[in-house]
Structure 1
Amino acid sequence: MRRISVIGGGLAGLTAAITAAEAGARVTLYEAHSSLGGRARTADAPYRTNEGPHALYYRGPHWTWLKQRDLLGPLAPIPPLEGSRFRFRRDGKLRKVPPAAMLRLVRRREAPVDRDFHSWAAQIAGEAGARAAARYSAVAIFHHDPGSLSAAFVQERLRRTTALPPEAHYPAGGWGSVVDLMTSMAWNLGVRMEIGTRVSELPQDAPVVVATSLPAARTLLGDSSLTWHSGRTVLVDLAVRQRRGDAFVVSDLDAPGWLERFSAGDATLAPAGEQLIQGQVPVAPDEGKAVGVARAEELLDLGYPGWRDRTVWRREALAAGRTGAVDPPGTTWRDRPAVDRGDGVYLAGDQVAAPGVLSEVAFASAIEAVTLALAEQRLGRAA
């Protein structure tokens, strides 16, 4: 049987391990932490938070991959839009609808790769429409200035996040439920899982899929070229006592930012009588966590009146370089670090050369990495 080693037990690593095992390979997966899942881990009760807001977009290839293997599990119902209190901050006030000019950009033909989104969008929707569209798209970009990125990159995410019916779906119980199902499948396929094992040198007896963060892969492989652009985002999670009229989502069109009451569709995420709110506010390279927290609190004041007196639990963090790749003008996903690193080493994760939005990149790159590894082994045996 062919052998493959996988380093990293997040979504990319589990996808690679399952794909390789399904093809008949003997797989060993190494995970440095005490549990699998990476950034897709879900905290234990009573507050079942993800590491930042998470959603599955059902038009993505990873949705089909998971569904075919019965790995999605039950999904939380999406609150109906007309009654969900989906709100937008615009000019300092909460509004029920985004500016009409913003939606013109969704219907336009494909945006150019080599222009920044703001300059391209402003010619179609005006300055205000372009700014609103860029800031709204930050929910799928985690970057402080989406308007400065490639127009094609931002428009794809704008289309996916404004689609009706909504593309975003939520695994009941948090992303950890998907990780549990993937872990069980990997185990049943015979994947050997070395948990709590930090790898400092690559195994030499088999092809290796490095499914870690890009900085970790750069250190492990000693390859300084493994860099790409990402964002910095302040994550704010809190549980508040329930109050009638709380918003489901608050999207900031005055500056990039997003708050979502995840327990609106999944009451199991928080104790009875409480609501779990998770938010992300991108910050610039020269801004600290306090800046993002202050902006998140401004949104909370608008969407969740009296939240300070109702808060029973709170957590804050700064996520730097952990929120996926962003493509500047003139670049696409093809320009990111290649999956095939040569000498039987393959890269998987959310900042490498694979298509998709958010976690879709990790799935796509993992499948590509295993496909290339197995093909190289077949060629080697034939030679």
Structure 2
Amino acid sequence: MHRNTHRNTQRNITIIGGGFAGLTAAITAAEAGAGVTLHEAHHTLGGRARTAEGPYRTNEGPHALYRGGPHWTWLKQRSLLGQLAPLPPLEAARFRFHRAGALRRTPPLGFLRHTLRSAEQAPVDTDFLTWATRLAGPEAARQAAAYSGVALFHHDPGALSARFVQERLHRAAALPPEATYLKGGWGGLVERMAARARKLGVRIETKSRLTELPLAEGPVVVATSLAAASKLLDDATLRWDSGRTVLLDLALRTRKGDPFIISDLDAPGWIERFTAQDPSLAPAGEQLIQAQLPIALEASKADGVAHAERLLDLGFPGWRERQVWRREAVSGGRTGAVDRPGTTWRDRPAIDRGDGVYLAGDEVAAPGVLSEVSFTSAVEAVSLALRTKRLDLKSA
């Protein structure tokens, strides 16, 4: 990476990427008094938090905010959460577990007990399946590993670090649930964050794809996928394991009695009827279903789709005849970092890349679950950038 290191003395920060991490970084920097320019390659902001336009308000995969995360408080303090979409009690009762070829209303007791264990009890250097088997037995361990896929997007959670998986399992199975939904999808959150950023003086440039770092304009926060950051920075070391998941979106004509969620306890896979809590996501008389089915590197999209269809056959009678819209995709390396045994978030690519360049996103060295990693890394990146800039100003 070659970069002009002669900086001016202004408190200017450049943000590359206008997703959740980039907007968090922009707001944080502007609130601290920095001048901020944000570049987004797409014509709209949001990244993976972008909500599709049109009658079916989908995101790139299922999206939820966890109340226990640091971003929840930050967003709430700034009135950015907007209107929430609470789940009616009757719909909450329609949670189904797929086990041994059948749908069940309640999870196995051994699995349920294991979800209550805190992550601090789990070792970093042992894989989840080995550790959980010692404590809960092989069947409960396999079921717990499969269930954790909702927060991992990985085809084999049992092979990952026990500490990493248990943290996500514990929070995904928390009662009352931590997962919270924003009415209208994440697009509304993106719009509110963008409006706040602009109000704070952030200059937002859409359709602005940078192929090299800007020169002499102060620190730069690269808030893109790790693959895009690697290319931009010409840094092949920017690599970390992630998941590979088939995403299936369906719109079906409404039928009473359809489940809210189907969680597969035999293999990682999750189907959710998002219109259960937010009917505005689809036209009247229709319901929007989003599924994520993790697949191995050697597996095909067809494998994941077949998995989803087997679950749909069990839980959504006549779904093929009721289908009015469908979309399929494979998301690879875009579902957040996964930690192998012996590693933690501290071992992921560092936020501070040197020479005034900082990373933000869901695959870098920051703690948290799902979007919390993007949030935490963005705040830390700006903190480091401003701290370095203050030191530069003192020595100028």
TM exceeding 0.5: yes
- Which residue pairs with 1:122 in the alignment? 133
- Which residue pairs with 1:6 in the alignment? 15
The one-letter code of the counterpart of 2:249 is D
CA contact (8 A) 2:259 2:273 kept: yes
Residues 136-215 of structure 1 mapped to structure 2, 5 A cutoff: 136-205=147-216, 206-215=218-227
Computed over aligned residues only, the root mean square deviation of the Cα atoms, in angstroms, reads 0.9
Residues 55-94 of structure 1 mapped to structure 2, 5 A cutoff: 55-80=64-89, 83-94=92-103
**1-structure distance, mates of 2:201, 2:175:** 41
Q: TM-score, normalised by structure 1?
A: 0.99
**1-structure distance, mates of 2:33, 2:90:** 45
Gaps of 5+ in 2: 1-9
Alignment match of 2:276 (pick from 233, 243, 264): 264
Q: Cα offset for 1:26?
A: 0.4
Residue 40 of structure 2 corresponds to residue 40 of structure 1: no
The one-letter code of the counterpart of 1:341 is R
Alignment match of 2:238 (pick from 226, 229, 252): 226
Q: Cα offset for 1:107?
A: 3.0
- Which residue pairs with 1:324 in the alignment? 336
Q: TM-score, normalised by structure 2?
A: 0.95
Gaps of 5+ in 1: none
Provide the identity percentage.
69
**2-structure distance, mates of 1:348, 1:236:** 28
CA contact (8 A) 1:45 1:269 kept: no
CA contact (8 A) 1:78 1:169 kept: no
Q: Cα offset for 1:352?
A: 0.2
**2-structure distance, mates of 1:361, 1:248:** 27
Of 106-115 and 237-246, the range deviating more from structure 2 = 106-115
- Which residue pairs with 1:18 in the alignment? 27
Matched residue SS, 2:255: coil
**1-structure distance, mates of 2:73, 2:212:** 34
Q: Cα distance 1:83–1:225, how it changes in 2: closer, same or farther (>3 A)?
A: closer
CA contact (8 A) 1:117 1:146 kept: yes
Matched residue SS, 1:123: helix
**1-structure distance, mates of 2:378, 2:173:** 27
Q: Cα offset for 1:82?
A: 7.5
- Which residue pairs with 2:7 in the alignment? none
Q: Cα offset for 1:103?
A: 2.0
Map Cα deviations across residues 272-319 of structure 1 (whole Å, 9 max, x no partner). Answer: 110000000000010010000000000111111110000000000000
The one-letter code of the counterpart of 1:235 is L
Q: Cα offset for 1:121?
A: 0.2
Q: Cα offset for 1:122?
A: 0.4
Matched residue SS, 1:280: strand
**1-structure distance, mates of 2:259, 2:66:** 22
Matched residue SS, 1:171: coil
Q: Cα offset for 1:83?
A: 4.9
Q: Cα offset for 1:203?
A: 1.2
Map Cα deviations across residues 52-90 of structure 1 (whole Å, 9 max, x no partner). Answer: 000000000011111111100000012327753100000
**2-structure distance, mates of 1:364, 1:71:** 17
Map Cα deviations across residues 159-186 of structure 1 (whole Å, 9 max, x no partner). Answer: 1111111100011000001000001001
Residues 238-253 of structure 1 mapped to structure 2, 5 A cutoff: 238-253=250-265
